[in-house]
Amino acid sequence: MRIGIGFDSHVFQAGIPLIIGGLAIEHTEGLAGHSDGDVLLHAITDALLGAVSAGDIGSFFPPNDPRWKGAASSVFLQTALEEVATAGYRIVNVDTVLILERPKIAPIAGELRERVAQLLGVKPGEVGIKAKTPEGLGLEHTAVAHCTVLLESLKAPDALAHLVASEEAGSEEELNAVVEGLVGGRHDMTALGRKKPFDTDDLT
Ligand code: MG
């Protein structure tokens, strides 16, 4: 298993649509950003990339790249999901915290959870959406998102199933091979099909 953590923040700005978790939300202000400013999907994307040591959202989608101006953040999320799949993992669950003064998230939390689950390709019960107001933080015009993800290896069940099915099951060689597969090489992330190498100067 692997875990990942993600964080993001965006400032509210009048006259632009508010998009959180891939959902268009009725409000007088939206979140400013080079993309659609979806603070929640950005935090989830970073948590997924971090869980497989694949860099961060800025290393894949630099904010100064005109290709991503106004981009739907679901594109970023999709890339992170591909990195997770390439590494041989699947999502166990995702938990998030949104911190913003307005709009109130509680009335739309269920819809938000379903939308995020749909984008992640998981069940709504595998997604947590929690919202807090920024009391004492002086962040009345800012939206903040935190995210934690838990991943599990796709290889472990395969290796165990093979062991059970094998006529050699129980032999020392077979057992050693499975243990090596479960504990050894799969932690080597250097073979990932990354589209762009991680650049520490490009942290955003
Ligand atoms: Mg962002």
Handedness of CA 4, 198, 121, 107 (dihedral sign): positive
Give residue 158 CA to ligand 1 midpoint distance, Å: 37
Enter the tokens of residue 44.
């989830």
SS3 85: helix
pLDDT of residue 30: 97
Residues 88/154, Cβ–Cβ less than 8 Å: yes
Q: What is the pLDDT tens value at each position of the chain, 204 positions in all?
A: 999 999 999 999 999 999 999 999 999 999 999 899 999 999 999 999 999 999 999 999 988 888 888 889 999 999 999 999 999 999 999 999 999 999 999 999 999 999 999 999 999 999 999 999 999 998 989 999 999 999 999 986 666 676 667 655 566 776 666 666 665 544 444 444 454 544 444 444
Give residue 45 CA to ligand 1 midpoint distance, Å: 10
Give residue 73 CA to ligand 1 midpoint distance, Å: 9
Give residue 32 CA to ligand 1 midpoint distance, Å: 9
pLDDT of residue 24: 96
pLDDT of residue 187: 45
Give residue 180 CA to ligand 1 midpoint distance, Å: 39
Q: List, as ranges, residues with CB under 5 A of the ion ligand 1.
A: 8, 42
For residue 137, which of 103, 100, 102, 106 has the smallest C-alpha distance?
Answer: 100
pLDDT of residue 197: 45
Enter the tokens of residue 38.
């979806």
Residues 19/73, Cβ–Cβ less than 8 Å: yes
| Domains, the chain, with CATH or none | 2-153 (3.30.1330.50), 156-186 (no CATH)
Give residue 77 CA to ligand 1 midpoint distance, Å: 12
Give pTM, 2 decimals: 0.79
pLDDT of residue 183: 56
pLDDT of residue 180: 67
pLDDT of residue 86: 97
Burial 150-168, CB ≥16 within 10 A → b, else e:
bbebeebeebeeebeeeee
